[in-house]
């Protein structure tokens, strides 16, 4: 086999995830002549159908409400930008970080968290629904692209990063991948980093989208130190700046403050832990990627503000209620009559029913509904249930 032009593990910290210390793939594959293993994972994710569907899946605002609001796709790209910046400075594996970032929301339902909560209620008697576990199902089973294995056959470390949270019940079914949820321990630093970068991205970019939509008020945001200090700095430095640029520069400054703190604190904690290998990372009692106490407090304060002022805004609640109606009605329709689904999914429901009864059929229906985009779910609901619905 042709030698790699460049060692993908070169210049990485000893505690980083590398293809040399990787726990490998479920189905063994030969190395590629000029792509590293985590680059291959990233490439497979980018070329997946589930990744393409993210462009029409809600972050906060339904896609048709405006062309400039974040979607799950743009959110995933923004998470990757933040996480890769920190990974580069810490000597972590940027390609693994990017792969995890681009895959972490593949299992999200239409209509964001509203759709997830609705599908979880529908599945309460059949094992429940967790979007992190669904993202893992997508890459392990549901994508059908390769002749030799189901799913995308990603490396252990990528799958570990995708599975940020997991119930103990489901962890017992996942073997080695679920062990840390049962026995303690930490995932790789790359996985820890993506988890925090995800929260940083949605907190700050939801501020931007909330202001754009007119649902948040600058006067109230200025009461938060994280926003208020950056807002004042921009106003003083750039008198007469346009509102659009002012908001952008303020949010940009907030992200810079919080990411710089994340980098400084994480670097110090890594040094104190005296890590020699990735196994040392996994054996830590708590995550090493974290904020200072003060920045964490401000981060949580912003999160609580958004929960109260944006996610519970009457317009968002109205969307949430309609999303619940759509997702619940579609699930009940397809569960009661699987033949209403496309042939491929109807066949999966039938096979699931044979294998494990109602639970197997329900899981196949949940897979189909979770894979829908916002506009596909709306179209299916209007076509099959209520053509008069207005969203």
Q: Is the pLDDT of residue 315 over 90?
A: no
State pLDDT tens for residues 317-340.
Answer: 888 899 999 999 999 999 999 999
- Residue 391, C-beta contacts closer than 8 angstroms, at least 6 positions apart: 62, 64, 319, 322, 378
What pTM, to 2 d.p., does this model score?
0.94
The tokens for 208 are: 């931007």
pLDDT digits (tens, 9 = 90+) for 345-354: 999 999 999 9
Of how many residues is the chain composed? 391
The CATH number of domain 37-384, selected from 3.90.550.10, 3.40.190.10, 1.10.3210.10, 3.30.1180.10 = 1.10.3210.10
Q: Classify 281 as helix, strand or coil.
A: helix
Residue 346 C-alpha from the chain's centroid: 28
Nearest Cα residue to 391 out of 59, 53, 64: 64
For the segment 70-91, the average pLDDT, to the nearest whole number, is 95
How many other C-beta atoms are found inside a 10 Å radius of the C-beta of residue 122? Answer: 23
Q: What mean pLDDT value characterizes the chain? A: 93
Type and span of the H or E element at 331: helix 314-336
At residue 62, the pLDDT reads 53
Ranges 34-38, 61-65, 110-114: which has the least confidence? 61-65
pLDDT over 70 (residue 63) = no
Q: Residue 269 forms beta bridges with which residues?
A: none
Collect all residues with Cβ–Cβ distance below 8 Å to 356 and sequence separation of at least 6.
none
- What is the reported pLDDT for 155? 98
pLDDT band at 2 (very low <50, low <70, confident <90, very high): low
- Cα distances (Å, whole numbers) of residue 98 to 88, 133, 180, 256: 11, 19, 22, 20
pLDDT at 1: 47
Q: 157: which 2 tokens?
A: 């470390």
Mean pLDDT of 225-241: 96
| CA 212, 215, 217, 220 torsion-angle sign | negative
Min mean pLDDT across 166-175, 192-201, 278-287, 348-357 is at 166-175
pLDDT at 66 over 90: no
pLDDT at 177 over 80: yes
Radius of gyration of the chain (CA): 22
Decide if pLDDT at 151 tops 50: yes
C-alpha–C-alpha distance, residues 335 and 364, integer Å: 9
Q: What are 71's strand-pairing partners?
A: 58
pLDDT of residue 68: 56
**Nearest CA-CA partner of 86 in 193, 161, 203:** 193
Judge whether residue 145 has pLDDT over 50.
Answer: yes
Q: What is the pLDDT of residue 60?
A: 67
pLDDT for residue 57: 87
Tens-place pLDDT, residues 199-219: 999 999 899 988 988 899 999
Q: What confidence score (pLDDT) does residue 186 get?
A: 96
């Amino acid at each position: 086999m042709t030698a790699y032009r460049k060692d993908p593990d070169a210049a990485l910290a000893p505690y980083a995830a590398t293809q040399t210390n990787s726990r490998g793939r479920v189905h063994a594959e030969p190395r590629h002549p000029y792509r590293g293993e985590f680059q291959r994972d990233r490439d497979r994710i980018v070329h997946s159908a589930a990744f393409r569907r993210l462009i029409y899946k809600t972050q906060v605002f339904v896609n048709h409400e405006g062309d400039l609001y974040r979607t799950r796709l743009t959110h995933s790209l923004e998470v990757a930008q933040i996480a890769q910046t920190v990974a580069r400075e810490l000597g972590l594996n940027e390609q693994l970080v990017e792969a995890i970032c681009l895959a972490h929301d593949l299992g999200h339902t239409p209509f964001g968290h509203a759709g997830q909560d609705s599908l979880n209620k529908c599945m309460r008697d059949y094992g429940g629904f967790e979007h992190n576990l669904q993202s893992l199902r997508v890459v392990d089973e549901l994508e059908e692209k390769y002749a030799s294995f189901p799913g995308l056959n990603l490396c252990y470390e990528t799958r570990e990063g995708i599975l940020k949270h997991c119930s103990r019940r489901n962890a017992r079914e996942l073997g080695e991948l679920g062990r840390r949820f049962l026995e303690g321990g930490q995932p790789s630093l790359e996985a820890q980093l993506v988890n925090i970068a995800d929260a940083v991205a949605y907190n700050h970019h939801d501020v931007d989208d909330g202001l754009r939509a007119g649902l948040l008020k600058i006067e109230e945001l200025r009461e938060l130190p994280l926003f208020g200090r950056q807002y004042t700095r921009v106003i003083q430095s750039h008198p007469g700046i346009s509102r659009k640029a002012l908001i952008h520069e303020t949010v940009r400054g907030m992200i810079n403050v919080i990411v710089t703190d994340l980098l400084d604190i994480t670097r110090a904690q890594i040094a104190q832990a005296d890590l020699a290998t990735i196994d040392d990372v996994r054996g830590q009692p708590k995550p090493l990627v974290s904020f200072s106490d003060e920045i964490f407090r401000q981060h949580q304060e912003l999160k609580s503000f958004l929960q109260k002022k944006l996610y519970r805004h009457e317009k968002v609640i109205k969307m949430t209620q309609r999303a619940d109606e759509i997702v619940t009605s579609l699930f009940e329709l397809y569960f009661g009559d699987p033949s209403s689904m496309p042939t491929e999914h109807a066949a999966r429901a039938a096979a699931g029913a044979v294998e494990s009864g109602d639970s197997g059929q329900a899981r196949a229906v949940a897979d189909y509904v979770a894979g829908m985009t916002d506009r596909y779910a709306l179209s299916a609901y209007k076509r099959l249930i209520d053509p008069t619905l207005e969203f």
